[in-house]
Structure 1
Amino acid sequence: MSSTLTIGERVAWYRRRRGLSQEVLAGLVGRTADWLGKIENNRIELDRLSVIKSLADVFDISLGDLLAEPSLLDWTPDSGTNTMPALRATLMSYRAITPFGQTTDGQEPSSIAELKQDVSALWTAYQDSRFGYVTSRLPNLLDRAQTAADRLDGEDQSQACRLLGLTYQLAATLLTKLGETDLAWIAADRGLTAVRPTGDPVVTGSLFRSVSHTLHSTGRYREAVRVTEDAAAYLEPHLRQPTPALLSIYGTLFLSGSMAAARASDPGTTRTFLAAAAEAAARLGGDANHLWTAFGPTNVAIHRVATAAELGDVQVAVDLGPRLDTTGLPLERQVRHALEVARAYNSWNRTDEAQAVLLDAEQLAPEQVRHHFLSRQLALTWIRRQRGKPSTELVGLARRLNVLD
């Protein structure tokens, strides 16, 4: 369906397609017909994923259908013109799931040092919100890491398997951001398979994050909560003398789980997970970026804001969100928090401030802003609510986000 429709307008389209009246649909999701009418006419913002998911369930469609995901990955000088289809082909290659192995053309596998450098470089590019760049380069890195895991032996093979697992995790993390949740699930599954022979709790725990992210990106919030609990139980025996990386992975699992719990409308579990993450951050002693987690007290605070918004507690989000200093975190985390602040301001009818935050975020990370449903929904709703001609600045934003022809 066209990306130029708001979520409310998509709800109206699917409701009519399914032959449901406003009264019937509202009753099925525990709301009033008046509420639904305001949603469909863009008079009320529909930005809580728990509510959007309940509507998608009634329509028997995916969450992505109402969010207009996946969205088209634009070509940029960073990405070139060989992006998502190439990554999809790599993830769906039959050689990855058969005994035939990878084609190597007689070339020697990459060294562990080379793979480490390239894996780190792509993770850093992801945290710099260079999504097109990472997408275009992942197929080659996945092929090379798989070849190394197949052809090396001994400790080098174990190292290659860990690096292959981390590369698959990067693919899963990126694909979740881009709305390609089915491919993200494949990548997370492949990553866990690759790392299983090593028995490495750090990389395994890191991949559990991707499983959790993929589950709650498809609206399977309670399953994501259970994954968090199971993964934490798996890691706890290793926490007697944890490395900073393991402690960061453990804490970040609870941050992911807290978002899933909030989207499942479970404030008690949300608070429990945030408390566990805060304890891990205190043990870590400050903000850090071990294994690209961006974990520490600031990221815990970011998730306090995001979960409050998901639970409908706008007051907490407005009070805490703008006061957080996120400049010490990777760009991806800074911009993700900025989107939550924009959402909070908008919910409080502080539209000018919301627009300013969103425009500043776009300046920092245009690809990330373009690919998040919150920014697209906000910009398009602001356009729809204009009584007169929208400002040139707002029209420009909406066009750059591909939600206005």
Structure 2
Amino acid sequence: MTSNLSIGQRVAWYRRRRGMSQDVLAGLVGRTTDWLSKVENDRITLDRLSVIKSLASVLDVSLGDLLAEPHLFEWTDGSGEQTIPALRAAITDYRQLSPMAGLVENTEPSSQADLRRAVAEVWRAYQGARYSYVIRTLPGLLGEAHHAARAANGDARMAALGVLGQVYHAAASILTKVGEADLAWIAAERGLSFARQSGDQLVTASLLRSVTHALLSNGRYEAAKQLTMDAANLLSPDLPHATAELLSVYGTLYLAGSMAAARDDDRSTTRAFLAEAQEAAVRLGSDANHVWTAFGPTNVRIHQVATAIELGDIQVAVELGPKLDTSGLPIERRARHGLAVAHALSLWNRTDDAMAALLEAETIAPEQVRHHYLSRQLTMSWIRRQKGKPSFQLTALARRLHIV
């Protein structure tokens, strides 16, 4: 198989591998055989993750299998020739978990100040959609953070564990972005463990958000909703006198939860979670980036658009999305919203406008667009819609995405 198959073609491929007829698969997901036939022949586009997840569950494959994730991470001047496998090796390095770890180390650990500066630079690169830098830097940073935590004692060790949790958070975030859902889950779970040991409430809450995103990327929407409520309950006693940092983390927890609820086709919970996030944003007062959350009123509106798409309310997304001014947010947020707008416009059969939105997102965040499954799926769908030869602009986009 290649990543150049449409989602419908992958459904057909896995269905045949399972020895399942169209009648049987259609019945198991509560659809007609005619509907499934049109999906597999690309006459109907699968545009909602809730439907794709139901097909994946019946076919006994992961959500990423149907979305063709992960996608090959390219070598660039920024990444070098050590990319995701190097990060995987760092996360799964048994020596970091062994009781014997550190006994043969003879170098001085990095200072807490140096590590915090390095973590901040990784988050700046992540929010700037400089994925190559993040992936190149994280393996070494993980090793340094582990070394510092092992070498520290008392309060210094608690602080070092908090930094280590933040490094794993960054790893989980970038792995989610490039489609490495299982590895992202490992990083998020491990980071949460270190965060809890640190006793730092903000770091722990941030890692709970990371775990929620990891559950989302694995298609575990019900679990992600439950974790959102559990994490919010953990923070709620401190809300009456919450700092801007706590409000931001609390609000972003509900934003992640709103996406899980929408993908689970749960309208009432989606509305409730968005309302909680909106209340936190109102209290915060303006867009900010506390604890690298990019949280504020604009991010809430971004999620109102994104959840509308997931729930099939395309007209709402088309009316709200293109008008939203995201220029004050980090590049990663702006580009992701651009992809959502492109998706909504494409579903509304405004292909030219959709392509313009995707190209604008590519201009500000080429690596992010290149490695997102939605970019490839949209471009392939536009090529298939062409009655004649695709335009030069569309062909060039397809080449940059390595579709042709």
TM-score (norm 1): 0.97
Match of 1:87 in 2: 87
SS at match of 1:240: helix
Instruction: State the match for 1:280 in structure 2.
Output: 280
Could you say which residue in structure 1 is the equivalent of 2:152? 152
CA-to-aligned-CA distance 1:344-363 (integer Å, 9 cap, x gap): 10111000100111111111
Letter of the structure 2 residue corresponding to residue 49 of structure 1: L
Alignment of 1:2-401 (within 5 A): 2-102=2-102, 105-401=105-401
Does the Cα contact within 8 Å between 1:47 and 1:374 map onto a contact in 2? Answer: no
Contact 2:305 2:317 in 1 (8 A): yes
Residue 351 of structure 1 aligns with an amino acid whose one-letter code is T
CA distance in 2, matches of 1:92, 1:319: 45
Shifted more, 190-199 versus 158-167: the winner is: 190-199
Residue 305 of structure 1 and its aligned partner are, at CA, apart by 0.3
- Please state whether the residue corresponding to 1:336 is helix, strand or coil: helix
CA contact (8 A) 1:104 1:147 kept: no
Q: Measure, in 2, the Cα distance between the counterparts of 1:347 and 1:35.
A: 17
Asked if 1 retains the 8 angstrom alpha-carbon contact of 2:109 and 2:147, the reply is yes
Q: What letter matches 1:379 in structure 2? A: T
What amino acid is the match of 2:324?
A: L
Pairwise CA distance, 1:171: 0.3
* Cα distance in 1, alignment partners of residues 122 and 323 from structure 2: 31
CA–CA separation in structure 2 for the residues paired with 1:106 and 1:294:
40
CA contact (8 A) 2:29 2:55 kept: yes
Distance 2:130 2:370 in 1: 12
Contact kept, 8 Å, 1:42 with 1:385, in 2: the verdict is: no
Q: Give yes or no for contact 1:131–1:368 (8 Å, CA) kept in 2.
A: yes
Kept in 1, the 8 Å contact 2:216–2:260? The answer is: yes
Change (3 A) 1:122 1:103: farther
Change (3 A) 1:326 1:103: farther
1:103 deviates by 6.6
TM-score by length of 2: 0.98
RMSD: 1.2
**Hey, what's the Cα distance between the residues in 2 that align with 1:104 and 1:205?**
34
- The offset of 1:104, in angstroms, is 6.5
Q: Amino acid of the residue matched to residue 288 of structure 1?
A: A
The CA deviation at 1:398 is: 1.3
Q: Which amino acid aligns with 1:96?
A: Q
CA deviation map 1:330-356 (0-9, x unaligned)? 000000000110011011100010011
**Which amino acid in structure 2 is aligned with residue 258 of structure 1?**
S
**Per-residue deviation, 1:321:** 0.4
**Displacement after TM superposition at 1:47 (Å):** 2.1
Q: Secondary structure at the match of 2:110?
A: coil
1:151 deviates by: 0.5
Q: Aligned equivalents of 1:349 and 1:102: distance in 2?
A: 58
Which consecutive residues of structure 2, in runs of 5 or more, have no partner in the other structure?
none
**Partner of 1:75: helix, strand, or coil?**
coil
Could you tell me how far apart the structure 2 residues matched to 1:17 and 1:382 are?
Answer: 28
Aligned residue pairs, count: 404
Query: Following the alignment from structure 1 to structure 2, what is the Cα–Cα distance between the partners of residues 38 and 396?
Result: 28
Contact 1:126 1:174 in 2 (8 A): yes
Cα offset, 1:14, TM superposition: 1.6
Distance 1:395 1:25 in 2: 35
Q: Which moved more, 1:14-23 or 1:244-253?
A: 14-23
Cα contact 1:178–1:371 (8 A) shared by 2: yes
Deviates more, 1:364-373 or 1:34-43: 34-43
Give, as a single letter, the amino acid of the residue that structure 1 aligns with 2:60. D
Q: Distance in 1 between matches of 2:198 and 2:61?
A: 39
- The answer to whether the 8 Å contact 2:195/2:207 transfers is no
Percent identity of equivalent pairs:
62
1:209·1:256 contact (CA, 8 Å) conserved in 2?
yes
Amino acid at match of 1:304: Q
Higher alpha-carbon deviation: 301-310 or 361-370 = 361-370
Shift of 1:17: 2.1
Q: In the aligned structure 2, how far is the partner of 1:255 from the partner of 1:275?
A: 10
1:280: how far off?
Answer: 0.4
Bigger drift between 273-282 and 232-241 goes to 232-241
Quick one: which amino acid aligns to residue 296 of structure 1? G
Instruction: Judge conservation of contact 2:335–2:361 (CA < 8 Å) in 1.
Output: yes
Alpha-carbon distance in 2 for matches of 1:240, 1:21: 57
Name whichever of 174-183 and 248-257 sits farther off: 174-183
In structure 1, stretches of 5+ residues that fail to align are: none
In structure 2, C-alpha distance between the alignment counterparts of 1:338 and 1:205, rounded to whole Å: 28
- Amino acid in the other structure paired with 2:242: P
After superposition, the C-alpha distances for 1:222-241 in whole angstroms (9 at most, x for unaligned) are 00000001100111122231
> 1:277 corresponds to which letter in structure 2?
A
User: Structure 1 298/103 Cα, relative in aligned 2: closer, same or farther at 3 Å?
Assistant: farther
